[in-house]
């Protein structure tokens, strides 16, 4: 796409008319129209003003961006991208820059897995994946966002309001996932587990608008099954469900609340998994789905309240890499703060060594 086409795309996504954008950047509407049709060159000062007003970095207008996203846009022939696409584009550019400037950010990317053709294959892939993540058969996948970095997938949680659940881009080595941090924590974890499936089967670019949807396409439904099996391994779920169900005076709701807290999943995910493993019937699954954890449950059952993937959150290995670049003065403080997506302020950055005063050094030598 030309710079003019990119300006048009960003302006359209922002809901601005040519007249409105032109007024905010001190241009005549006719001049902006010529820029968008590439019949007039845009100056650097004008492009900076346009980029600032449209919430994009200047490089977005002049650099095509990550190849998987470009290919997706071309295949879909879309005039405008959605918010998740824009955020993925921005974050992948940042990650690629940091990867290029430092070492050790992406580690142990796995070999490409075959897409599961059946639900049984989805379950098998989940068990293999749990092994890759270093999980024992009876160990819950707590801190999934940390675990996936050990096999090269970098998850970012940002505010997407009511947009997509998540999306993933495959890099030359490793991958990046963006999760809608405005979902409830159980849904965020399910979304990341689903994106992990896309990463393992090497999907170059995916956006998921509703994970675990009843009308999912065949592969998406199998990846949903994969995600549930990663979070709720069947053998362990069977054993623990029987133990919790045997607690005196506990109802089905109480058992479900304990299970949801232990595995850190939402009730809809738990209900689906209990039903597909035959641990509950259809009516009981509906009852589990409607269960809601109250503050009294947290206190009386001594439950853990998880906060994983709260927005804005970045992979720790990525944060460490950015701070290394800042300490080496490879990037400025402004660039570091931008790479950290506003999760740091100036005072939060490490102190750099003071620059020696040349005059003081000369005085020490000559005095």
Task: Confirm if 202 and 112 have CB atoms less than 8 A apart.
Answer: yes
> Where do runs of H (alpha helix) occur along the chain?
3-14, 18-24, 29-36, 44-54, 58-62, 67-76, 83-101, 119-132, 144-147, 185-200, 218-231, 234-245, 252-263, 267-276, 282-290, 295-300, 316-327, 333-339, 358-366
Instruction: Kindly give the confidence (pLDDT) of every residue in the chain, 367 residues in length, as a single tens digit, with 9 standing for 90 and above.
Output: 788 888 998 888 788 899 999 999 999 999 999 999 999 999 989 999 998 898 888 888 887 767 666 655 655 544 445 778 888 988 999 999 999 999 889 989 999 999 999 999 999 999 999 999 999 999 999 999 999 999 999 999 999 877 789 999 999 999 999 999 999 999 999 999 999 999 999 999 988 888 888 777 899 999 999 999 999 999 999 999 999 999 988 999 999 999 999 999 999 999 999 999 999 999 999 999 999 999 999 999 999 888 999 999 999 999 999 999 999 999 999 999 999 999 999 999 999 887 666 655 555 555 4
Q: How far apart are CA 143 and CA 307, in angstroms?
A: 10
Cα 241 to the center of its chain, rounded Å: 31
- Residues 160 and 85: their CA atoms lie apart, in Å, by 11
What pLDDT sits at residue 214? 76
Is beta strand 166-170 parallel, antiparallel or unpaired with respect to 205-208? Answer: antiparallel
Spatial distance between the Cα atoms of 359 and 78, rounded to a whole number of angstroms: 60
pLDDT at 77: 46
Measured distance CA(326)–CA(333) in Å, rounded: 7
Alpha carbons within 13 A on the beta-carbon side of 351? 3
| pTM for the structure as a whole | 0.85
DSSP readout, 8-33? Answer: HHHHHHHT--HHHHHHHTT--HHHHH
Model pLDDT, residue 314: 97
Do residues 156 and 311 make contact, with C-beta atoms less than 8 angstroms apart? no
| CA–CA gap between residue 110 and residue 87 (Å, rounded) | 25
Comparing CA positions, the residue from 182, 142, 186 lying closest to residue 165 is 182
Residue 365 has a pLDDT of 54
Cβ-contact 126, 309 below 8 angstroms: no
């Amino acid at each position: 796409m030309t710079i003019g086409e990119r300006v048009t795309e960003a302006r359209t996504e922002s809901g601005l008319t040519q007249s409105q954008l032109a007024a905010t950047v001190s241009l005549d509407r006719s001049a902006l129209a010529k820029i968008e049709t590439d019949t007039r060159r845009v100056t650097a000062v004008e492009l900076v003003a346009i980029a600032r007003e449209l919430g994009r970095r200047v490089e977005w207008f002049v650099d095509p961006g990550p190849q998987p996203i470009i290919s997706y846009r071309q295949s879909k022939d879309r005039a405008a991208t959605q918010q998740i696409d824009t955020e993925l584009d921005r974050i992948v550019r940042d990650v690629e820059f940091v990867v290029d400037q430092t070492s050790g950010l992406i580690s142990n990317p796995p070999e490409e897995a075959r897409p599961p053709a059946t639900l049984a294959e989805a379950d098998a892939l989940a068990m293999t994946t749990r092994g890759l993540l270093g999980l024992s058969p009876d160990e819950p996948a707590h801190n999934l966002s940390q675990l996936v970095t050990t096999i090269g997938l970098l998850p970012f949680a940002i505010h997407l309001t009511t947009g997509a659940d998540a999306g993933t881009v495959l890099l030359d080595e490793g991958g990046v996932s963006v999760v809608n941090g405005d979902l409830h924590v159980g849904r965020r974890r399910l979304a990341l587990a689903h994106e992990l499936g896309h990463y393992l089967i090497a999907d170059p670019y995916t956006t998921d608008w509703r994970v675990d949807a009843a009308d999912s396409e065949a592969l998406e439904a199998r990846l949903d099954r994969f995600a549930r099996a990663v979070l709720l391994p069947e053998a362990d779920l069977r054993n623990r469900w029987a133990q919790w169900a045997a607690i005196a005076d506990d109802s089905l709701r109480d058992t479900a609340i304990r299970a949801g807290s232990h595995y850190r999943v939402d009730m809809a995910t738990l209900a689906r998994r209990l039903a597909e493993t035959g641990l509950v019937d259809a009516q009981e699954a509906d009852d589990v789905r409607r269960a809601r954890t109250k503050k009294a449950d947290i206190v009386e059952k001594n439950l853990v309240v998880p906060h994983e993937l709260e927005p804005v959150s970045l992979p720790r290995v990525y944060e460490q890499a950015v701070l290394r670049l800042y300490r080496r003065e490879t990037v400025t403080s402004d660039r570091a703060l931008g790479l950290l997506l506003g999760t740091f302020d100036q005072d939060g950055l490490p102190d750099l060594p003071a620059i020696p005063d040349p005059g003081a050094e000369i005085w020490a030598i000559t005095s």
